[in-house]
Amino acid sequence: MIRYIFWRIAVMVPTLLIISALVFAIIELPPGDYFESYAAELQAQGEGVDMDKINALRAEYDFDKPPLIRYFYWVGGMLTGDFGYSFEYELPVTDVVGDRLWLTVLVSFCTIVLTWLIAFPIGMYSATHQYSWGDYGLTFLGLLGIAIPNFMLALIFMYFANIWFGTSIGHLMDQKYLSQPMSWDKAKSILEHLWIPVIIIGTAGTAGMIRRLRANLLDELQKQYVMTARAKGLHPFRTLVKYPLRMALNFFIADIGSILPAIISGAEITAIVLSLETTGPMLIKALQSQDMYLAGSFLMFLAFLTVIGVLISDLALALLDPRIRLQGGSTK
């Protein structure tokens, strides 16, 4: 086990290097850079462009050097904790991401907890009451949740909130707190607004988890060891929880690799519709404006969380399911 962990950590280094090269290359693919886009935007607005200032900024941030040199500067800076400078926000990347990051984590964490609290009981009920009216009704709601996109559900919520209550449900806090430091009043405002994006974003995830948990549990409940446990008179709930549910959670553990980056990135399109102060809209805007250091550093952080999540899920699967082994070997 220890050797496997060290080997996987060693493999992470070249993996992240390859990902960094791909991220840098993709960001560099569009013609021009942020400064050319900025100059073109000023000209489109009828404002004058000081090309000397533009060229000075290009030289200051090494944009006058070949892409390969800038790539090594960028990777070397990240290794020392310097993630670069955001031209769009005129701030260091760490300062731009800081406030939005914890709000994104808060929304995503609450969404995941809500998803688990709803999906597990419903999935267990549907599997143990197959083809009942309750199973049919919950299955219909699950399919409905999967079919409706989150951004469309957000638009529906916004429309009816405005029609019925005459209020706007955008943002994660009242407008007056947007640029203020954290305080008790601001925290209460965030909690008052939090439940709406949590419900909207969690709808599809809850519906999908219900369907997968039900399918896996139905498969396990038909196996011989469950029939043997029932024949021995083991309590039905204990029979369900001790073995079938444990085996049916493999998909849940395997999802850790995607859950970790999802916590940070958030639901981008839904966040744009609801005007949420999270990292998703910031990332999309950075990619559109070719704000290389902000977009690239954020994508690398997501890649790092992905490889860490895959490692955690592999180790957890080996501990959860005795049928899974981290390395091959002869068995008697």
In a 13 Å sphere around the CA of 143, the CA atoms on its Cβ side amount to 5
Q: Which pLDDT band holds residue 80 (cuts at 50, 70, 90)?
A: confident
Q: Do residues 54 and 119 both lie within one domain?
A: no
Q: Which pLDDT band holds residue 219 (cuts at 50, 70, 90)?
A: confident
Report which of residues 49 and 137 the model is more confident about. Answer: 137
Q: Which pLDDT band holds residue 331 (cuts at 50, 70, 90)?
A: very low
pLDDT score of 140 more than 70 = yes
Q: Quick one: pLDDT at residue 22? A: 92
Last residue of a domain, one of 35, 67, 91: 91
Judge whether 199 lies within some domain: yes
Q: Do residues 257 and 148 both lie within one domain?
A: yes
pLDDT score of 327 more than 60 = no
Q: Do residues 97 and 56 both lie within one domain?
A: no
Q: Do residues 149 and 295 both lie within one domain?
A: yes
Q: Which pLDDT band holds residue 330 (cuts at 50, 70, 90)?
A: very low
Dihedral-angle region of residue 170 (phi above 0 means left; psi in -120 to 50 means alpha; beta otherwise): beta
Q: Quick one: pLDDT at residue 21? A: 92
Q: How many CB atoms lie within 10 A of CB 92?
A: 16
Q: Quick one: pLDDT at residue 70? A: 86
Judge whether 51 lies within some domain: yes
pLDDT score of 166 more than 80 = no
Judge whether 328 lies within some domain: no
Average pLDDT score over residue span 274-280: 82
Q: Do residues 193 and 55 both lie within one domain?
A: no
Q: Do residues 70 and 193 both lie within one domain?
A: no
The range of the structural domain enclosing residue 207 comes to 93-320
Percent of the chain with pLDDT over 70: 93
Average pLDDT score over residue span 145-169: 80
Q: Do residues 66 and 147 both lie within one domain?
A: no
Residues 103, 275: Cα–Cα separation, whole Å:
13
* Highest-confidence segment of 42-56, 124-138, 162-176, 186-200: 124-138
Q: What are phi and psi of 92, to 5 degrees?
A: -60, 150
> Model pTM?
0.76
Report which of residues 36 and 168 the model is more confident about. Answer: 36
Question: 20-29, 53-62, 274-283, 307-316: lowest mean pLDDT where?
Answer: 53-62
Average pLDDT along the chain:
81
pLDDT score of 179 more than 50 = yes
Residue 114 contacts residue 197 (beta carbons within 8 Å): no
Cβ neighbours for 177, distance < 8 A, ≥ 6 positions apart: 183, 185, 186, 189
Residues 200, 233: Cα–Cα separation, whole Å:
43
Q: Mapped to the 3 state alphabet, what secondary structure does the chain carry? A: CHHHHHHHHHHHHHHHHHHHHHHHHHHHCCCCCHHHHHHHHHHHCCCCCCHHHHHHHHHHCCCCCCHHHHHHHHHHHHHCCCCCEECCCCEEHHHHHHHHHHHHHHHHHHHHHHHHHHHHHHHHHHHHCCCCHHHHHHHHHHHHHHHCCHHHHHHHHHHHHHHHCCCCCCCCCCHHHCCCCCCHHHHHHHHHHHHHHHHHHHHHHHHHHHHHHHHHHHHHHCCHHHHHHHHCCCCHHHHHHHCHHHHHCHHHHHCHHHHHHHHHHCCHHHHHHCCCCCHHHHHHHHHHCCCHHHHHHHHHHHHHHHHHHHHHHHHHHHHHCCCCCCCCCCCC
Question: 125-134, 271-280, 282-291, 320-329: lowest mean pLDDT where?
Answer: 320-329
Judge whether 42 lies within some domain: yes
Last residue of a domain, one of 91, 111, 129: 91
Q: How many CB atoms lie within 10 A of CB 124?
A: 20
Q: Which pLDDT band holds residue 234 (cuts at 50, 70, 90)?
A: confident
What is the distance between the terminal CA atoms of the chain, rounded to a whole angstrom? 21
Q: Do residues 281 and 137 both lie within one domain?
A: yes
Last residue of a domain, one of 63, 91, 119: 91
Q: What angle do CA 309, 218, 240 make, to 5 degrees?
A: 80
Q: Could you read off the pLDDT of 2-31 as tens digits, one per residue? A: 777 788 888 888 999 999 999 888 888 877
Domain total of the chain: 2
Report which of residues 324 and 252 the model is more confident about. Answer: 252
Q: Do residues 47 and 101 both lie within one domain?
A: no
**C-alpha separations of 36 from 31, 89, 181 in Å:** 9, 16, 34
Judge whether 43 lies within some domain: yes
Average pLDDT score over residue span 150-173: 79
- What CATH number is attached to the domain comprising 154? 1.10.3720.10
Q: Could you read off the pLDDT of 47-69 as tens digits, one per residue? A: 776 777 777 777 777 777 888 88
Judge whether 329 lies within some domain: no
**Sequence-separated contacts (24+) of 154-161 with Cβ below 8 Å:** 154/197, 154/200, 154/270, 154/273, 154/274, 155/273, 157/196, 157/200, 158/273, 158/274
Judge whether 332 lies within some domain: no
Q: Quick one: pLDDT at residue 196? A: 83
Q: Quick one: pLDDT at residue 266? A: 58
Q: Do residues 187 and 75 both lie within one domain?
A: no
Q: Do residues 47 and 64 both lie within one domain?
A: yes
Residues 199, 111: Cα–Cα separation, whole Å:
7
Q: Do residues 128 and 266 both lie within one domain?
A: yes
Report which of residues 99 and 291 the model is more confident about. Answer: 291
Q: What are phi and psi of 274, to 5 degrees?
A: -90, 0
Judge whether 330 lies within some domain: no
